[in-house]
Chains A and B, each alone.
Chain A
Amino acid sequence: MVQRQTSIEGVLLDEHTIVSITELTQVCGVDIEQVRLMVSEGVLQPTNGAQPEKWRFTGIEVRRARRALRLQRDLDLNLPGTALALELIDELEHLRRRVRSLEQLLGGVRDGE
């Protein structure tokens, strides 16, 4: 085990981070055709509707693309199945946050008399 200390600044993948289609393919390790397919299936939403060369994606889409590729690979899903899984996961995450938030709001329970 070797120890090494590095100080480092990352890129925050939020809605303000914009990448080109080329950058997206590099970050995700896929080719342009795969990105094109994901866009046509509605898995990814480019911010610029013109030709693929002009497409721009937010950091949120980068995360989505990586998740889509993981699901496809690990669960052997086709593209429509991946799209459905992503939408359900989005909703699931939203509901889980909501439940946690509401549970916190309700506080402890005491038996009534």
Chain B
Amino acid sequence: MEYKDYYKILGVARDASQDDIKRAYRKLARKYHPDVSKETDAEARFKEVNEANEVLKDPAKRAEYDALGTGWHAGDEFRPPPGAGAHRREYDFSPEEAAHFSDFFSSIFGGGGGMGGFGGARGARDDFRRRGTDQTARIRISLEDAYHGASRQLRLDVPEFDNSGHVQTRSRTLNVRIPAGITEGQQIRLAGQGGPGLGGEPGDLFLEVEFEPHPIYRCEGRDIDVRLPISPWEAALGATVPVPTLGGTVSLKIPAGSQSNQRLRLKGRGLPGGGSTKTAGDAFVQLEIVNPPTVDDAARTAYEELSKRFGAFNPRAKLGV
């Protein structure tokens, strides 16, 4: 396993005061809290920072960690020295904490290896019942799946108690139904699918939905935005043109005299509300005038005629130039 430099993780010196450690921890916890941070590795960093704090905030654990010596560097191959943890205190972690901590941590302070002792086998705690912890996982789906609803297979690594009360990781596959009309950021609660309880009920699993970026649609709540290229004559003369929507192609009437960036609303063509009285979102179509390329002389002549015909037209009049 890899040696972890807890001082480096918190960005403090080895002789930092407990106050310095607390301050550094708080600052990093705010920075990497998964509810606040959108950095891709926020969750991993948050766990790492918490693990470092778990050790350094407690003078007893800190002393035990310091006793490993100063010759180590982060990432060094680490084997616990003989006798490490022999005089182990009864550190107490909840099972989900222990499962989050690294092997390195467990090798010194127990936990993952089952030596730290959380309940179960210990007499003092035999009458103790604890509900499992809730867990949150992110799930990425396409807009199409959100529109039609879908089934998704999820693989989860869950901590679990074995018969002797040790924590083990078990891989579990769940088939989850994604209801039609789900929107970004919404959660699906799977009762009883979270962390295992200790004589109590298991916790819940919460799936938080994220949308994959879509090549043609953007999404805001239940509303969908789509850019619709139209030709200059469709914009000038008006036309009925096809528009893609999540529910299929629909016809849209472009009013004569339309300009680029005008938005037209297709009511109820966004993500469905689902259920009976729930209202669907709208689709907003943003017009974008696209000019045909000047591929040959005939095309060039056509543009030249337009130029002659509209000689007085200044598209930049509003800019004062």
Chain A interface residues toward B at CB < 8 A: 1-14, 16, 27, 29, 59, 62-63, 66-67, 70-71, 74-76, 85, 89, 92-93, 96-98, 101, 104-105
B259 at the interface (CB under 8 A from A): no
Closest B residue to A77 using CB positions:
B30
B228 at the interface (CB under 8 A from A): no
Interface residues of B in 149-191 (CB under 8 A from A): 169-177, 179, 182-191
Closest A residue to B171 using CB positions:
A1
Shortest Cβ distance from residue B260 to the other chain A in the assembled complex, whole angstroms: 12
Given A2-B171, A75-B26, A105-B218, decide whether A11 and B189 contact each other with a Cβ distance below 8 A.
Answer: yes
B23 at the interface (CB under 8 A from A): no
| B278 and A16 within 8 A (CB) | yes
B199 at the interface (CB under 8 A from A): no
Q: Which of A3, A4, A10, A66 meets B188, CB within 8 Å? A: A10
| A85 and B220 within 8 A (CB) | no
| B204 and A27 within 8 A (CB) | yes
Shortest Cβ distance from residue A22 to the other chain B in the assembled complex, whole angstroms: 15
A57 to B176, CA, bound (A): 24
Chain B interface residues toward A at CB < 8 A: 26, 29-30, 33, 35-36, 38, 131, 134, 169-177, 179, 182-191, 193, 204-207, 213, 218, 220, 225, 227, 273-275, 278, 286
- Tell me which residues across on chain B come within 8 A of A2, comparing CB atoms: 170-171
A96 to B177, CA, bound (A): 28
A92 to B206, CA, bound (A): 22
Q: Which of A6, A12, A14, A93 meets B173, CB within 8 Å? A: A6
A70 to B36, CA, bound (A): 11
| A3 and B173 within 8 A (CB) | yes
Closest A residue to B193 using CB positions:
A8
Closest B residue to A85 using CB positions:
B36
| B187 and A6 within 8 A (CB) | no
A2 to B273, CA, bound (A): 39
| A8 and B174 within 8 A (CB) | yes
A10 to B286, CA, bound (A): 36
- Identify 19 new A-B residue pairs, CB closer than 8 A, beyond the known A1-B171, A13-B188: A1-B170, A2-B171, A3-B172, A3-B173, A6-B174, A8-B190, A9-B177, A10-B190, A10-B205, A11-B188, A11-B189, A11-B191, A14-B182, A14-B186, A16-B275, A16-B278, A27-B204, A59-B186, A96-B38
User: What 4 pairs across the A-B complex have the smallest Cβ distances?
Assistant: A10-B188, A7-B175, A10-B190, A13-B187
| B227 and A105 within 8 A (CB) | yes
A59 to B207, CA, bound (A): 13
Q: Which of B38, B169, B206, B273 meets A1, CB within 8 Å? A: B169
Shortest Cβ distance from residue B297 to the other chain A in the assembled complex, whole angstroms: 25
Interface centre among B185, B189, B220, B286 (most CB of A within 10 A): B189
